[in-house]
Amino acid sequence: MALAGLGDMDLKLIIFGGKGGVGKTSCAIATAKALSKNFKTLLISTDPAHSVSDCLEQKIGFKVVKVEGSANLSAIEVVADEALSVFKTAHQNELKKLLETSTNLDNEDIDDMLTLTIPGIDEVMSFKTIIDFIEKGEYDKYVVDTAPTGHALRLISSPKLLDDWIKVAAKMRWKYRYMVTSFTGSYNPDNVDTFLLNLKKTVKRIENILKNKTKCEFIPVCIPEEMAILETSRLLADLSTSGINARQIIVNNVMVSDGCDFCIRRKAGQMPHLEEISSLFYEFNRVEVPMFAEEIKGHEALSRLTEVLFG
């Protein structure tokens, strides 16, 4: 089988995830390259390891650049820390005022607290970067390569984490508002209220895209090994709980050759796992990718993978 439906006009965001080393980056790039033949495509890496540069053999970085050799493909490697630091600098005043007006912390404590991370905020900032791109509408397709499963799950649960934080902050503000109202008889929303409201809007924007089954699709990448199957099952369960669309799985590194003793043994060893994958994930479109003799690096190798993924 081949990957299906990625050309649907409404489908904007395609996210690849899975266990470490199973082929997420290779598959994300090969998919982005295939889509770029018909659609203006942006490949986004949220993996701090940034192997997209290595795989494409081109320096990418935290700035959109054209991918050499693919006319309609651009790429960016999002640096969560940098995105967060831009956010903190831009909203330092609001964050400081929020803490000053809502807590008994002194200035030093407040500075300490600001340097600590709001839970999920760096992932939210990564995602905000993606959503900002989508909302600008410059591209038809956004293909996201993530770091191993834990990271993808944090990315997905980040809006909820941030939402919880906003609720606590809003509660603290409520007390402040109550005090101001009791003393002055009225309360005018200030820049901190606007900041929290905008943050809430960001959470909603992320959720609206992530949970929209026609706009977003998550593609888990798996290999025929026990640990990877377990992790894929957990990933799919979490995606389902979060209401995120997943309808196909890539099964990578499948041994097809009978050409040597090692290949025959490897193939036989994979057989029960492939059967398990078929029975566990029978509802999903499963795309098997053979184990290539060479690593997937550079345009030629990526094109070979594209051919397999898209038939």
Q: What is the DSSP letter of 91?
A: T
> Is 51 an interacting residue with respect to Mg ion (CB under 5 A)?
yes
Q: How far is CA 150 from CA 8, 46, 145, 155, 206, in A?
A: 29, 13, 13, 9, 19
Q: Cβ closer to ligand ATP: 47 or 94?
A: 47
With CB under 6 A as the contact rule, the residue among 12, 14, 26, 124 that binds ligand ATP is 26
Concatenate the DSSP letters of all residues of 126-177 into one string.
HHHHHHHHHHHT--SEEEEE-STHHHHHHHHHHHHHHHHHHHHHHHHHHHHH
With CB under 6 A as the contact rule, the residue among 113, 263, 280, 291 that binds ligand ATP is 291
User: Could you tell me where the DSSP H helices lie in 185-225?
Assistant: 191-210
Q: Cβ closer to Mg ion: 51 or 157?
A: 51
Contact window for ligand ATP (CB under 6 A) among 23-31, 152-160, 205-213, 273-281:
23-31
CB of 135 to Mg ion, least distance (A): 26
Token pair 């509802």: residue = 283
With CB under 6 A as the contact rule, the residue among 1, 4, 8, 21 that binds ligand ATP is 21
Q: Cβ closer to Mg ion: 72 or 146?
A: 146
> Is 31 an interacting residue with respect to Mg ion (CB under 5 A)?
no
CB of 61 to ligand ATP, least distance (A): 17
Token pair 């967060």: residue = 84
Q: Cβ closer to ligand ATP: 205 or 297?
A: 297
Q: How far is CA 288 from CA 1, 255, 276, in A?
A: 7, 10, 14
Q: Which residues bind Mg ion (CB under 5 A)?
A: 24-25, 51
